[in-house]
Structure 1
Amino acid sequence: MKSNLIAPCGMNCSLCIGYLREKNRCLGCRENDENILNSCRKCIIKNCEILQQKQLKYCSSKCEKFPCTRLKNLDKRYRTKYQMSMLENLQFIEEFGIRKFIEHEKERWMKEDSIFCVHHKKYYKVAK
């Protein structure tokens, strides 16, 4: 799990089916490449002017609109469908830093040589 796979919204792209699938694999929303999902390429949060102006890697309390409506809606959808929270992820990152967040995510979602896909609710083997 790498920090460049944590999206500005707090999504861990390592857990996304787009990243885990073998065919037409997405490289994570931080990549500036044609191999990222169209939804990620056009994402309002990823392309947020405030994030870009303030040179912030993640949504945080450093933004006067945090949490914005778009982020609240995304969080609500992921809490309901996938039992994870973007807002909790972002609060953890802000409080403890990205390294601790990555450690926490590994403990939460990885088992031996597998990682949990939040979208399909099953484990996928990962290359070492």
Structure 2
Amino acid sequence: MKMPQEIETAFFAPCGMNCMICYKHCAHKRPCAGCFGSDDGKPGHCRKCKIKDCVEHKGISYCYECSQYPCKRIRDLEKSYRTRYGISLVENSRFVKQYGISAFLERQRKAYCCPSCGGVISLHDGWCSQCHAKF
């Protein structure tokens, strides 16, 4: 899959993850439409996401809009992402809050676009979805 010229805002998940660079999205023959898109092609753990259910229940779009942010679920996910992938979902959310989703996704597009072929580099495993180079 090639990196699009512009990542749709539906790919910014409530937790602060960019779904476009998720290994599940990159590896699927029929990629999902992001956290706010339809459930077609979406992995089971995303269809049953308690964080997404929580923001929907509270009538907000993103966790950072909540007065209890960061809650235990976010802190646990944050710890996992920092340890396993070296990124911060909380920092992603802070950037979005300050500069907007479009600026964040443009920054992510540049950071995760394969310089060789223009494919999407997965955050989770570092593989390009197009040429399968490892980064």
Paired residue secondary structure (1:123):
coil
Letter in 1 for 2:72: T
Deviation >6 Å, runs of 4+: none
Which of 119, 129, 134 does residue 124 from structure 1 map onto?
129
- C-alpha distance 88-16 of structure 1, shift in aligned 2 (>3 A): same
Mapped to 1, the partners of 2:59 and 2:45 lie a distance apart of 22
- Greater share of strand: 1
**Offset of residue 56 of structure 1:** 2.3
1:99 maps onto 2:102 in alignment: yes
1:8 aligned partner: 14
2:62 aligned partner: 58
Contact 1:29–1:37 (Cα < 8 Å) also in 2: no
1:109 aligned partner: 112
More divergent stretch after superposition (25-34 vs 9-18): 25-34
- Where structure 1 has 5 or more consecutive residues not aligned to the other structure, the ranges are none
Mapped to 1, the partners of 2:101 and 2:15 lie a distance apart of 13
- C-alpha distance 25-99 of structure 1, shift in aligned 2 (>3 A): closer
The TM-score with structure 1 as length reference comes to: 0.84
CA RMSD, 1 decimal:
1.9
| Paired residues for 1:43-82 under 5 Å | 43-48=49-54, 51-52=55-56, 55-60=59-64, 62-82=65-85
**Offset of residue 40 of structure 1:** 0.8
- C-alpha distance 115-32 of structure 1, shift in aligned 2 (>3 A): closer
Aligned residues: 123
The TM-score with structure 2 as length reference comes to: 0.81
Letter in 2 for 1:123: C
